[in-house]
Amino acid sequence: MASNTVQMTFDRLVQLPGVTGAILIDGNGVPVRTNLPANVARIYADRMRPLVILARSMVQDLENGDELSYVRLRTRRQETMVATENEHTIILIQDNRVLDESWRSSVASRRASAL
Amino acid sequence: MSRSSRLSVTETQRKSTPVVKKAVIRSRSYDGDAFVNLFAHRGARDIMILDSHGVPLRSTCSQRRTFVFVSNLKPLLFMARNVVRDLDPSNDITFMRIRSNMGEIHMTLGTDFILIVVQKLRRLRSSSTS
């Protein structure tokens, strides 16, 4: 049941604008679904796992009872979102320019609707 | 002269002294205060400025809280930088955002400084990836 929900969420996330890569990782750190080559997905999963573990423990240290939602790493060319939910982890790689344009258009449309 | 900065209306009674570790010559004495006020207006709770090695230079919260934040966030920052370098050696991290249920931490990595902004959300939110 939860696995189906995560799979549907993954399918929805792949449709976002500017997504150049998406990886779904289960609790054991094994990539379950991805649109990248298998070795690239494995490398991303292995590299992001200690980062997520450290971020989760850091969030719990700073505020008791708090939980990590996601980590966003913005680099010069792309933006990587690592979302953790229960045991599954979704890594989403988006292009900076497309992401900025979609964000700007959403802000403009919201402002237009507010007027 | 001791300077104080007010973070929000509910904290007008309590003044937090910025932790200045290095003497910085400024043409106007209220430059930092304007910066702090601008961020406070946008919902930022704490602002910290570190140098590129992770030593805190200025902060709007107390020294103990600054130390707690820096000791927790510094290994995360350097691990994130190493992760990005591992994945693509020509790429480099510029910004990092950690979102949790109660708050959000923004980290800007410049060449000479690291800027950390801690924000609190209005209400409790369930963690979902939708």
Structure tokens at B112: 């000479």
Is B20 within the bounds of a domain? no
**CA–CA dist A72, A82 (Å, integer):** 6
Name the region of A65 (left: φ>0; alpha: ψ -120 to 50; beta: rest).
Answer: left
The pLDDT assigned to B10 comes to: 41
- Which residues on A lie below 8 Å from B109 (Cβ)? none
Query: Residue A47 is nearest to which of B86, B100, B130, comparing CB atoms?
Result: B86
The pLDDT assigned to B28 comes to: 39
CATH number for the domain harbouring residue B90? 3.30.450.30
Compare B25 and B111 and report the one with higher pLDDT: B111
pLDDT per position as a tens digit, B47-81: 788 888 788 887 777 777 787 888 888 888 878 97
Interface of A with B in 38-67 (CB under 8 A): 43-44, 47-48, 50-51, 54-55, 58-59, 61-63, 65-67
- Does A73 contact B98 at a Cβ distance shorter than 8 Å? no
Number of domains in chain B: 1
Whether residue B10 lies within 8 A of chain A, CB to CB, comes out as no
Whether residue B99 lies within 8 A of chain A, CB to CB, comes out as yes
Is B25 within the bounds of a domain? no
**CA–CA dist B75, B73 (Å, integer):** 6
Region B30-45 average pLDDT = 59
Compare B10 and A104 and report the one with higher pLDDT: A104
Least Cα separation, residue A47 to chain B (angstroms): 6
ipTM topping 0.85: no
* Domain coverage including residue A94: 1-113
pLDDT per position as a tens digit, A31-60: 887 788 888 887 888 878 788 888 878 887
Number of domains in chain A: 1
**CA–CA dist A54, B20 (Å, integer):** 29
Query: Residue B130 is nearest to which of A9, A61, A72, comparing CB atoms?
Result: A9
Q: How high does pLDDT run on average in chain B?
A: 68
Compare B127 and A79 and report the one with higher pLDDT: A79
pLDDT along chain A (115 residues), means of 10: 70 79 83 81 82 83 78 81 77 80 78 76
* Domain coverage including residue B100: 44-120
Region B93-97 average pLDDT = 84
